[in-house]
Amino acid sequence: MPIIRVALNVPVDTLFDYQAEDASQHDIGLRACVPFGKKQVTGIILAVSDETQIPVEKLKSAYCIFREIKPLPAALLDLFHFCSQYYHHPLGMVIMNGLPVKLRNNKPVSLKRKPHQYQYSLTSAGKNVELTQIPARNRVARRLLNEFQQAVTLTNPQIKHISPRAEKLLQDWIQLGWITSELCSASTAARVAKTPVLTAEQEIAVNAITAGGKQFNTWLLHGVTGSGKTEVYLRIIESVLAQGRQALVLIPEISLTPQLEGVFRGRFSNVPLVSLHSGLNDTERLTGWLQAESGEAKIILGTRLAVFTPLSDLGVIIVDEEQDSSFKQQDGLRYSARDLAIFRARQNAIPVILGSATPSLESYYNALTNRYRHIRLLSRAVQNATLPLIQCIDTRIHKNQEGLSDPLIQALNQCLQEKHQSLIFINRRGYAPVLLCKSCGWTAPCQRCSSRLVVHLRDKKLRCHHCGHQEQFPRACPQCGNQDIAPFGQGTQRVEETLTAHFPAARILRIDRDSTRRKHAWQEILHAVHTHQVDILIGTQLLSKGHDFPNLSLVGILNADGALYSTDFRASERLFAQLMQVAGRAGRANVAGHVLIQTEFPDHPLYQALQRHDYDALAQTLLAERKIAGFPPYVYQALLRAEAHHIKTVLDFLAQAAQLARPPQAVELFDPVPAHMSRLKGLERAHLLVQSSSRKHLHTFLTGWYAKITTLPSQKVRWVLDVDPLEF
Ligand code: ADP
Ligand code: ZN
Ligand code: ZN
């Protein structure tokens, strides 16, 4: 009887054999439901054979093989294999991590046939309707009409995207004779939104990449903020679509999706696009995944997990904001979607484009050493838009009142008078307000993590931003009984209060995790900003990414200094990237931009380089430092991370693991140390660093070492290898 060899979602790097009478070689890549211990689980068939090492009496039979969808394509299985080998993570777990939840269940998936897609446009009667005829309180109707007036045609998903209620309105409007519909033809790449003439720099970039043709190349598209990298992506995608192939676009954050999705849908309105982000439910994700797999979806836009989407005819991969740390998964399988994207591009012999204004030092170094091809965009795309003027406010001279210095208040005032928008950016690291007892210095700690609880003034709660634990404000200091305990440090809410006091008439909008949690919250915020219903925006890193705010002229940056003297060797690189990005929000269209950084260290090389917009100067300085110190990109690193309830258990485990290691000369093994966040969610954490200037030596060593570590007794310890770690 045939034996199927199945990869299961269990922390053991082996395949499991089962009898399956109806199995054949064609079933490789299909899902099988099998008994595992006392449970019933679903895995992927990776081999079908006549033989097995398992004694017959122990061999179990599979319950069933699911055949309702096609097997996973071989190329996707190759990607999973590579991922498992490179990150030293069990193959079954890698595969299951990469599949939609619906495919991990012990059930066949049921597929509803998709209704035909229609596209809708205004009739001449519809064109006569004015926005003002619709009552202002009818917001969805106003938006729908507005979208029709701008986009000319809309499809069902676009309409649904505006609001679920828009679909109902659409039917009413069809009845009223305002709207006509016609069936979409899926293949034509009709360009609807206005296409700008490329700038000279953009044209060089597009030509170079398209001339590179259908072969593997990693392109570093290194363009200052506002240089029009998106337009370069659009042109490349257009040529890929013209060949009937698919484009995979990876982006860092969910908050970026609506805007970019809008741009793509506007430009390629008839091209089927799926957007795979964490806001989807399981059915939506599966549907998108299947459309990508069948080749029906031509543009796939998604966050890091989308790198595992099966694509039948991939023509290009784009990784926007390639330096963003959210491309690296920070738990379980710690993969880098950017690095896997490069593997996929090589596998498919296609170009991959890494876009950034401030590339990671790894990518920059690869460009300098000609492993990547470097394309620069040095000027802004919009005519007359210049780079913003960046200046420091020395807070040793200009004292803060409630976190805001006089020059910044004055600048805000002027900006308000000129009816321009401004943005106050608060560097969140180390800046969240904590509850402090002024008499004994007590601050409210999280019981489960080595972190302080963050004050949430609005609902009078203390919350841990690592584990989510929350509690009430204490009435008095638990340590000394003092009743005068008050929030210390400027969170977004404190700054909002200070600004409201200074500018009572200004319309102030605070953006943070709390205010963006709701569905559609981002779209509403962006809409409010674009239609100038906001004068001053307050926000954290969420705001720094990729948004285009045409009327923004002033950016104030608070509390960036902390990162200058961090123990994390990547802190400067990150701070620079982040500040460049925030600064890039200012002065994009016809408004000149001005950036004011409050700092105690205005002479620091990082701020000096920032004021000159000189990425290269800073990057060279940092690279020189890294070379001397023996840090990436000059070495390759891996961490053995472990956690347990008691620190002794963790350190003992790491010490045992170190004993098992027989590193060759080229590989350096360090002593176990507690992690930066040494306590998280009630667990003690520590790690052990391994590094080598040779990636090959490092990985050969890791493979052997990994196998030995798995033999250690580790019931009480959770451990994982983190290859190319970003956090310590
Ligand atoms: P980046 O992503 O490089 O920061 P964007 O792609 O957001 O920059 O482009 C910045 C602005 O320039 C956008 O408003 C975009 O519409 C505009 N833009 C891009 N290319 C052109 C062009 N060739 N001509 C005119 N405007 C352009
Ligand atoms: Zn106290
Ligand atoms: Zn906590």
Q: Compute the distance from residue 589 Cα to the ligand 1 centre, in Å.
A: 9
What band does 281 get if pLDDT is binned at 50, 70 and 90?
Answer: confident
CATH of 636-723, one of 3.40.50.300, 3.30.1330.20, 3.20.20.210, 3.30.70.600: 3.30.70.600
What band does 187 get if pLDDT is binned at 50, 70 and 90?
Answer: very low
- Closest ligand 1 atom to residue 198 Cα is 23
The finding on whether 199 has its CB within 6 A of some atom of ligand 1 is yes
Q: Could you tell me what percent of the chain has a pLDDT over 70?
A: 93
What band does 392 get if pLDDT is binned at 50, 70 and 90?
Answer: very high
ipTM value for the complex:
0.95
Q: What is the mean pLDDT of residues 630-638?
A: 95
Q: Compute the distance from residue 230 Cα to the ligand 1 centre, in Å.
A: 7
pLDDT number for residue 190:
45
What band does 547 get if pLDDT is binned at 50, 70 and 90?
Answer: low
What band does 116 get if pLDDT is binned at 50, 70 and 90?
Answer: low
Residues 227, 382: Cα–Cα separation, whole Å: 8
- Which segments of 574-682 are extended strands (E)? 594-599, 636-644, 667-669, 673-680
What band does 223 get if pLDDT is binned at 50, 70 and 90?
Answer: very high
pLDDT per position as a tens digit, 5-46: 999 999 888 999 999 999 999 999 999 999 999 999 999 999
The finding on whether 254 has its CB within 6 A of some atom of ligand 1 is no
Is 146 a residue whose pLDDT tops 90?
A: no
Q: Tell me which CATH code domain 3-103 carries.
A: 3.40.1440.60
Are domains 200-224+247-254+269-377 and 389-432+489-624 of this chain identical in fold?
A: yes
What band does 213 get if pLDDT is binned at 50, 70 and 90?
Answer: confident
CATH of 389-432+489-624, one of 3.30.300.30, 3.40.50.300, 3.40.50.720, 2.30.30.190: 3.40.50.300
Q: Is 440 annotated as a binding residue?
A: yes
Is 134 a residue whose pLDDT tops 90?
A: no
pLDDT per position as a tens digit, 354-366: 999 999 999 999 9
- Closest ligand 1 atom to residue 224 Cα is 3
What band does 188 get if pLDDT is binned at 50, 70 and 90?
Answer: very low
Superfamily of domain 200-224+247-254+269-377: P-loop containing nucleotide triphosphate hydrolases (3.40.50.300)
Which among 327, 333, 310, 331 has a CA at the least distance from the CA of 91? Answer: 333
Q: Is 480 annotated as a binding residue?
A: yes
What band does 112 get if pLDDT is binned at 50, 70 and 90?
Answer: low
pLDDT number for residue 292:
95
Burial class (CB in 10 A: 0-12, 13-18, 19+), 659: exposed
Is 185 a residue whose pLDDT tops 60?
A: no
Could you please report the per-residue DSSP string of 70-131? PPPPHHHHHHHHHHHHHHT--HHHHHHHHS-HHHHSSSPPP-PPPPPPEEEEE-HHHHT--G
Q: What is the mean pLDDT of residues 122-138?
A: 85
Q: What is the mean pLDDT of residues 668-672?
A: 92
Residues 160, 176: Cα–Cα separation, whole Å: 20
pLDDT per position as a tens digit, 54-100: 888 889 999 999 999 999 999 999 999 999 999 999 999 999 999 99
Q: Sheet holding 39-49: strands in order across?
A: 60-61, 16-19, 3-7, 39-49, 31-36, 64-66
Average pLDDT, the chain: 88
Best-predicted range by mean pLDDT (491-500, 509-518, 654-663):
654-663
The finding on whether 432 has its CB within 6 A of some atom of ligand 1 is no
Nearest ligand to residue 438 Cα: 2
Encoded tokens for 594: 């001005």
Residues 354, 342: Cα–Cα separation, whole Å: 9
- Residues 6+ away with beta carbon under 8 Å from 216: 345, 346, 348, 349, 350, 351, 352
pLDDT number for residue 544:
60
Is 132 a residue whose pLDDT tops 70?
A: yes
Nearest ligand to residue 550 Cα: 1
Task: Determine which of 359-373, 473-487, 643-657 has the lowest per-residue pLDDT on average.
Answer: 473-487
- Residues 6+ away with beta carbon under 8 Å from 221: 205, 229, 232, 353, 354, 355, 356, 375, 377
Q: Is 184 annotated as a binding residue?
A: no
Domain chopping of the chain, boundaries: 3-103, 118-183, 200-224+247-254+269-377, 389-432+489-624, 636-723
pLDDT number for residue 430:
44
| b/e 584-611 (16+ beta carbons within 10 angstroms → b) | bbbbbeebebbbbbbbebbebebbebbb
Residue linked to tokens 């969610």? 681
| Global confidence as pTM | 0.83
- Residues 6+ away with beta carbon under 8 Å from 207: none
Is 586 a residue whose pLDDT tops 90?
A: no
What band does 528 get if pLDDT is binned at 50, 70 and 90?
Answer: confident
